[in-house]
């Protein structure tokens, strides 16, 4: 599979016009125009929340896009305006061709997600935030029993780091979906959620085969501690890695009804900020948009 880390937007009419038909350009202009002063209060609230959700997703897509593309090729995202400062990230010395192809495909998908959201948000798109892979993963490794953890050191370490991002992404999209008011926007978010879920399932399958359940369980427990949801909290879940909460294979982050596990934007930020309120962890200087704090 040919490596492709350059941001591209599909030329398919249905995808290119998906958000365009919902008037994304007009919505962006409305958001930026005198604090929505030219829109009615109801229109302003609807426009603001939908763009806020998409920008919240864009911050996470920047994070995933940088992780996968730097691991696959050593180069970060391109064609994103003024990039943030990214600390860490280097080409992974792959020896397993199947894993290399898997991550090349995921890197391509995440780059396209960034391009798609930026194109359809237009001038309302938030810029890429500063991202820190080095210190965040070192802290995570210390917490899960892997001192000096560098996910870019080898393919299995990269696989474990990917588990952190994909599970957060799936629960983030699922948790944010009920807040979206436009059916068109909801359809776009659901489409991206489906792709992220495919990624998550593939990564969990590979981790199970690598017998990495002990580490994924520990990561899940850390996520639960930061966000207040997950194993041992008031919201039961088997979001406990590849061994599952009750032992055995767990290929999907689901609740006790086998429904996709959800987190609110605030809960997601609590995880990616590593317990911080407005910054920390993967985003040392925070994020931009409507959702910028883990405080509820």
Question: Taking the alpha carbons of 57, 156, 273, 167 in that order, is the dihedral positive or negative?
Answer: positive
Show pLDDT as tens, one digit a residue, over the chain (296 residues): 333 332 333 334 334 434 443 444 333 333 333 233 333 444 445 558 899 999 999 999 999 999 999 999 999 999 999 999 999 999 999 999 999 999 999 999 999 999 999 998 999 999 999 999 999 999 999 999 999 999 999 999 999 999 998 888 888 998 888 889 988 889 999 999 999 999 998 998 898 888 887 888 889 889 888 988 654 443 334 454 444 444 556 777 777 777 888 899 999 999 999 999 999 999 999 999 999 999 87
Between CA 244 and CA 246 the distance in angstroms is 5
Does residue 279 form part of some domain?
no
Domain that holds residue 41: 13-272
Does residue 296 form part of some domain?
no
Count other Cβ atoms within 10 Å, centred on residue 13: 9
Does residue 255 form part of some domain?
yes
Note the pLDDT of residue 208.
85
Q: Which two tokens stand for residue 295?
A: 């405080």
Does residue 207 form part of some domain?
yes
Q: What is the pTM of this model?
A: 0.82
Note the pLDDT of residue 214.
84
Does residue 69 form part of some domain?
yes
Q: Which two tokens stand for residue 128?
A: 């890429």
Q: How would you label 153-191 residue by residue, b for 16+ Cβ within 10 Å and e otherwise?
A: eebbbbbbbbbbbbbbbbbbbbbbbebbebebbbebbee
Does residue 39 form part of some domain?
yes
The full DSSP string for 65-89 is HHHHHHHHHS----SSSSPPPEE--
Count other Cβ atoms within 10 Å, centred on residue 9: 16
Between CA 164 and CA 221 the distance in angstroms is 12
Classify residue 147 by burial, with Cβ atoms within 10 Å: 0-12, 13-18, 19+: exposed
Between CA 208 and CA 265 the distance in angstroms is 28
Note the pLDDT of residue 24.
40
The answer to whether 58 and 126 have CB atoms below 8 angstroms apart is: yes
Does residue 105 form part of some domain?
yes
Domains of the chain: total:
1
3-state secondary structure of 23: coil
HSE, CB side, 13 Å, CA atoms: give it for residue 290.
22
């Amino acid at each position: 599979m040919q490596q492709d880390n350059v941001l591209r937007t599909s030329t398919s009419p249905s995808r290119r016009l998906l958000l365009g038909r919902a008037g994304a350009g007009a919505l962006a202009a409305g958001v930026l125009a005198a604090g929505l002063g030219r829109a009615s209060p109801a229109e302003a609230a609807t426009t603001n929340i939908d763009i806020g959700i998409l920008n919240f997703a864009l911050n996470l897509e920047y994070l995933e896009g940088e992780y996968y593309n730097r691991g696959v090729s050593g180069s970060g995202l391109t064609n994103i305006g003024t990039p943030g400062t990214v600390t860490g990230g280097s080409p992974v010395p792959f020896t397993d061709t199947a894993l290399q192809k898997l991550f090349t495909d995921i890197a391509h998908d995440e780059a396209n997600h960034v391009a798609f959201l930026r194109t359809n948000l237009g001038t309302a798109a938030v810029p890429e935030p500063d991202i820190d892979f080095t210190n965040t993963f070192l802290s995570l490794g210390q917490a899960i029993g892997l001192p000096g953890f560098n996910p870019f050191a080898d393919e299995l370490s990269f696989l474990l780091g990917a588990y952190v991002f994909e599970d957060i992404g799936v629960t983030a999209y699922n948790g944010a979906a009920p807040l979206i008011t436009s059916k068109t926007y909801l359809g776009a978010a659901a489409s991206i959620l489906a792709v992220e879920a495919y990624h998550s399932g593939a990564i969990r399958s590979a981790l199970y085969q690598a017998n990495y359940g002990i580490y994924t369980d520990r990561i899940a427990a850390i996520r639960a501690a930061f966000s207040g949801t997950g194993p041992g909290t008031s919201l039961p879940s088997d979001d406990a890695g590849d061994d599952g909460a009750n032992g055995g294979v767990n290929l999907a982050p689901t609740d006790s009804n086998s429904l996709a596990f959800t987190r609110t934007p605030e809960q997601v930020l609590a995880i990616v900020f590593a317990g911080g309120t407005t910054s920390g962890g993967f985003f040392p200087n925070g994020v931009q948009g409507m959702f910028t704090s883990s405080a509820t």
